[in-house]
Structure 1
Amino acid sequence: MPATYIETRLTLNPEYNEILMAELAEIGYESFVESNDGLSAYIPETDFDLEALQQLVERYQALTEISLEYEQLETKNWNEEWERNYQPIEVAGKIRVRASYHTPDPSFEYDIVIDPKMSFGTGHHETTTLVMEQQLSLDQREKSVLDVGSGTGILAILAEKLGATRLTAFDIEEWAYLNAVENAEMNGCTHIHVFQGTIADCPPDTYDIVLANINRNILLQEIPTYVSFLAPGGTLMVSGFYEFDIADIVQKAQEADLRLVTQKTLNQWAVLRFEKP
């Protein structure tokens, strides 16, 4: 039976749309529609937490005028509604990310099929695009890769297409875990092991590359743990935060003896690439 959804409408300075979407995603919101007056966000009624929503709005009231409305929407299949507007995207002229119902385009070197089922990571978000661009410039042949908070599995899938031969991906959400398994199979990936859990559930091991496209707070907490999984000379790539958070992320990484190699921003979102001595 299709889920019942709550529509939350936030009226605010649209300059804050992106950061509010990231914050709302952290409390369970699955999709968003932006406008010149703010944004609308959608969450299953079973996951709706009014207190958490009000606390979030209060945190940003010092930065922008913000008002809140919400209502229950009619029951419908929101995955089908979303799919109607899901268009393929292109990354760096080499990668095309599409759904299974889109026709392949052989002019792209890497064809990635993602049926997101509302998981984060279709390539449409700036942070996913930023990480994928960096992956293209990183030698992953015969390498081992750990994908932290993998969502749809898109980064692990690209890593295998770029030559990685041992990959572990995990996400705390069951629907993301199941979706990553489906997407890996659709892309013919045979080297990706996916599980449901957190970094604490990851068996002790070392990897040549660790990818973490999550958010600022989790990164600040977990970067030292990621480093413990990183082989000497290995690469840690992080995204999911704004450019004004770069200094805090760099400081935490340097405290863990990492060296900053690359940083790039897109529409105020950032990606950082570090190396372990």
Structure 2
Amino acid sequence: MKSERTQKQYLEIHFPVAGIDRDLFSGILFRNGCLGVVELSDDEWQAFFPGDWSSEHVQYLKQEVMKSIPNFPWNEVQLEKNPEQDWNAGWKKYFVPIEVTKDIWVRPPWEKLPPQATGIELIIDPQMAFGTGHHETTRLMIQAMQQMTLKDASVLDLGCGSGILSLLAKKLGAREVVGVDIDPDAIANALHNQELNQVSGIEFLVGDISTVQNRTFSVILANIHLEVLMDLALNFSSMLMQEGKLLVSGILKEDVNLLSYLYKHAGLVMEERLFLKEWAALLFTLWTDR
């Protein structure tokens, strides 16, 4: 006799991520049905997919990964099916309050800050791998933003994801903040996080840079793929006000010289470089004599 209660399941896949473009890899996962990702360590991700996935689904995912990342070590990938109840309780334990930089804390909505915590609090419901404050590129962006003067600034957050940088910009005193992302689910998550933080005055839009191409900003934030950053050099230059600031990440240390060279020819001069592990964040200023 069958039980009237059927236990739902999800497919859990462990991926090796050392030495790969993690932003690119994350995009591939979420475009192909990924429900969520947990960074177990610097070298390993735990990703969750629907429990009814067949071997054909997995094979298609493999093809998509290998097409974009030919040297991906798929032979090290591990698959396992687990009850959905473990998903609901299990993945949350990996998201705890963290002090990303001095006096800037990030926490999920089900956790409280420790009693000794001071400064700015960002509440982020982690529905994706990035924009939770755990990844090095997000940490670098937050560290650099803390050192900038954002009071009364007009800010564009391109590829805003969870909205974490948009929220921080507003809490640091920005007058106008616009967050843009091509993923409607990311924008829905950003709007949800805006409510959690009880912050108003942020405009979140689904689209790419063309959505705001006719507007100008005093600060542009872009934590996105290197290839996109390279393509957008002239767009950034045309959308920045005189002496405007461009802060970018999502790039490796080895790509810093290439990007700074391209941006210099677009009128953007590098002011500062920040590094964390293999990742970099760069701060540029628009030349005033263009």
The equivalent residue for 1:92 is 101
* 8 A contact 2:256–2:280 mirrored in 1: yes
The aligned runs of 1:172-211 (5 Å cut-off) are 172-202=182-212, 204-211=214-221
The equivalent residue for 1:31 is 37
* 8 A contact 1:146–1:167 mirrored in 2: yes
Q: Once the 2 structures are TM-superposed, how far is the Cα of residue 145 of structure 1 from its aligned partner?
A: 0.3
- Number of residue pairs the alignment of both structures matches: 267
RMSD: 2.6
The equivalent residue for 1:225 is 235
The equivalent residue for 2:63 is 51
The equivalent residue for 2:33 is none
Q: Once the 2 structures are TM-superposed, how far is the Cα of residue 18 of structure 1 from its aligned partner?
A: 4.8
Gaps of 5+ in 1: 11-15
Match of 2:70, SS state, is helix
Q: Once the 2 structures are TM-superposed, how far is the Cα of residue 262 of structure 1 from its aligned partner?
A: 0.3
Q: Once the 2 structures are TM-superposed, how far is the Cα of residue 79 of structure 1 from its aligned partner?
A: 5.5
* 8 A contact 2:38–2:94 mirrored in 1: no
**Higher deviation after alignment, 205-214 or 226-235:** 226-235
Separation in 2 of the partners of 1:239 and 1:194? 20
* 8 A contact 1:119–1:175 mirrored in 2: no
Matched residue type, 1:31: V
Separation in 1 of the partners of 2:69 and 2:154? 41
Q: Once the 2 structures are TM-superposed, how far is the Cα of residue 191 of structure 1 from its aligned partner?
A: 1.4
Matched residue type, 1:26: G
The equivalent residue for 1:142 is 152
Q: Once the 2 structures are TM-superposed, how far is the Cα of residue 226 of structure 1 from its aligned partner?
A: 2.1
Relative to 1, partners in 2 of residues 1:79 and 1:218: Cα closer, same or farther, differing over 3 Å?
A: farther
**Higher deviation after alignment, 171-180 or 101-110:** 101-110
The equivalent residue for 2:4 is none
The equivalent residue for 1:7 is 13
Structure 2 residue 107 is matched with structure 1 residue 102: no
Q: Once the 2 structures are TM-superposed, how far is the Cα of residue 66 of structure 1 from its aligned partner?
A: 6.7
* 8 A contact 1:4–1:73 mirrored in 2: yes
Structure 2 residue 91 is matched with structure 1 residue 82: yes
The equivalent residue for 1:73 is 81
User: What TM-score, normalized to structure 2?
Assistant: 0.82
**Higher deviation after alignment, 146-155 or 104-113:** 104-113
Q: Once the 2 structures are TM-superposed, how far is the Cα of residue 92 of structure 1 from its aligned partner?
A: 2.5
* 8 A contact 1:150–1:156 mirrored in 2: yes
Q: Give a deviation string over 1:167-208, Cα, whole Å, max 9, x none.
A: 100111122110100111211211100011111222511001
Relative to 1, partners in 2 of residues 1:271 and 1:114: Cα closer, same or farther, differing over 3 Å?
A: same
Separation in 2 of the partners of 1:224 and 1:6? 42
Q: Give a deviation string over 1:113-149, Cα, whole Å, max 9, x none.
A: 1112125111111111111111111111111000000
User: Which has the greater radius of gyration?
Assistant: 2
The equivalent residue for 1:246 is 256
Separation in 1 of the partners of 2:107 and 2:39? 20
Q: Once the 2 structures are TM-superposed, how far is the Cα of residue 227 of structure 1 from its aligned partner?
A: 2.1
Q: Once the 2 structures are TM-superposed, how far is the Cα of residue 274 of structure 1 from its aligned partner?
A: 0.1
* 8 A contact 1:119–1:179 mirrored in 2: no
Relative to 1, partners in 2 of residues 1:2 and 1:28: Cα closer, same or farther, differing over 3 Å?
A: farther
* 8 A contact 1:31–1:118 mirrored in 2: yes
* 8 A contact 1:119–1:176 mirrored in 2: no
Match of 1:17, SS state, is coil
The equivalent residue for 1:122 is 132
* 8 A contact 2:154–2:219 mirrored in 1: yes
Q: Once the 2 structures are TM-superposed, how far is the Cα of residue 239 of structure 1 from its aligned partner?
A: 0.2
Moved over 6 A (4+): none
Relative to 1, partners in 2 of residues 1:72 and 1:226: Cα closer, same or farther, differing over 3 Å?
A: farther
Matched residue type, 2:164: I
Percent of aligned positions with the same letter in both sequences? 28
Relative to 1, partners in 2 of residues 1:217 and 1:183: Cα closer, same or farther, differing over 3 Å?
A: same
